[in-house]
């Protein structure tokens, strides 16, 4: 079906050979080139002089038609009617039977080429499938190898962690024993230091008591001496008061006696 659509969309035009021995080569024309040729033919038809009354294919026009102006509808109808015959005469193509045979041969060759392409594509897909299977096998082998390596690594890590845990336990036990010995030694040292401090504080307390007792005796002696001195001072002040009073009274008596005598 695809081949028939392609053959229907693609038009073939054969050029006549210049010599009998020249090979006929087909030329593929697109619809745009066909329209260009149709436009050229229409231009030729419209550019014919008014005196021409014959056209390709034996078509003739009357004198009245050559004199009267043609409308666009008449021109298009005439071109549509005779366009196939004009194209056949202008292209100088082979007869329809030969053209159909060559077209069928081309279709057969196209089908064979498509078949070959399909086989090549199938082979490519088969090769790709094989390569994908090989890649899958490689991935499976790699996954199995990775699983083995991970298992071996897990076993090795477990052994190493167990050995490390045992060693750490031993080291922590040794540290605990060292802390216990250090605690016992510290307790002994603190007890000895406490006994020494107690003895020193007792000796210092006894010495301080003795010194404070000596200070008390000195304060008592100083107090007794001060009392004696204050008593002697009091006596001297009393004696001074007596003498001062006697002198004052005597002086007053003399003054009074002198005043009496003078008066």
Average pLDDT, the chain: 76
Beta bridge partners of residue 27, listed in sequence order: 13
* Confidence category of residue 97, pLDDT binned at 50, 70, 90: low
| The predicted structure's pLDDT at residue 260 | 86
3-state secondary structure at position 11: strand
**Parallel, antiparallel or unpaired: strands 54-55 and 26-29:** unpaired
pTM exceeds cut of 0.75 = no
31 vs 103, higher pLDDT: 103
How far is the CA of 116 from the CAs of 2, 110, 123, in angstroms? 16, 10, 10
Q: What pLDDT is attached to residue 69?
A: 66
H or E stretch at 165 = helix 96-262
> Do residues 37 and 87 touch, judged by C-beta distance below 8 A?
yes
Pair of tokens at residue 232: 């002697």
Q: With a cut of 50, say whether residue 65 has pLDDT above it.
A: no
160-205 pLDDT, tens digit each:
999 999 999 999 999 999 999 999 999 999 999 999 999 999 999 9
Using CA atoms of 253, 254, 260, 263 in order, give the dihedral in degrees to the nearest 10.
-140
Buried b (16+ CB within 10 A) or exposed e, 129-166: eeeeeeeeeeeeeeeeeeeeeeeeeeeeeeeeeeeeee
Distance of alpha carbon 62 from alpha carbon 42, whole angstroms: 20
Asked if residue 219 has pLDDT above 70, the reply is yes
pLDDT of the residue at 4: 40
Supply the DSSP symbol for 49: -
Whole-number Å distance between alpha carbons of 135 and 127: 12
33-37, 68-72, 192-196, 208-212: least confident range? 33-37
**In this structure, how many other beta carbons lie within 10 angstroms of the beta carbon of residue 210?**
10
Nearest CA to 63 out of 72, 74, 54 is that of: 54
- Paired with 29 in beta bridges are 11
Q: What is the DSSP code (8-state) at residue 24?
A: P
The interaxial angle of helices 96-262 and 2-9, nearest 10 deg, is 100
Residue 57 — very low, low, confident or very high, per pLDDT cuts 50/70/90?
Answer: very low
């Amino acid at each position: 079906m695809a081949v028939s659509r392609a053959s229907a969309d693609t038009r073939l035009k054969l050029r006549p050979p210049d010599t009998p021995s020249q090979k006929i080569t087909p030329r593929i024309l697109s619809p745009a080139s066909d329209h260009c040729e149709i436009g050229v033919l229409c231009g030729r038809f419209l550019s014919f002089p008014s005196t021409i009354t014959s056209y390709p294919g034996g078509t003739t026009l009357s004198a009245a038609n050559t004199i009267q102006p043609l409308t666009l509808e008449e021109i298009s109808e005439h071109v549509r009617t005779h366009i196939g015959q004009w194209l056949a005469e202008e292209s100088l193509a082979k007869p329809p039977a030969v053209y159909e045979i060559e077209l069928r041969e081309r279709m057969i060759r196209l089908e064979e080429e498509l078949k070959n392409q399909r086989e090549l594509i199938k082979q490519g897909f088969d090769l790709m499938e094989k390569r994908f299977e090989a890649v899958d096998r490689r991935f499976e082998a790699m996954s199995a190898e990775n699983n083995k390596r991970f298992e071996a690594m897990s076993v090795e890590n477990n052994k190493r962690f167990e050995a490390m845990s045992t060693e750490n336990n031993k080291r922590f036990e040794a540290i605990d024993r060292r802390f216990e010995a250090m605690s016992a030694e510290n307790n002994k040292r603190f007890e000895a230091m406490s006994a020494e401090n107690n003895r020193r504080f007792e000796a210092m307390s006894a010495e301080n008591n003795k010194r404070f007792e000596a200070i008390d005796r000195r304060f008592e002696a100083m107090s007794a001496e001060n009392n004696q001195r204050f008593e002697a001072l009091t006596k001297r002040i009393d004696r001074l008061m007596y003498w001062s009073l006697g002198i004052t009274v005597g002086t007053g008596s003399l003054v009074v006696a002198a005043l009496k005598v003078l008066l």
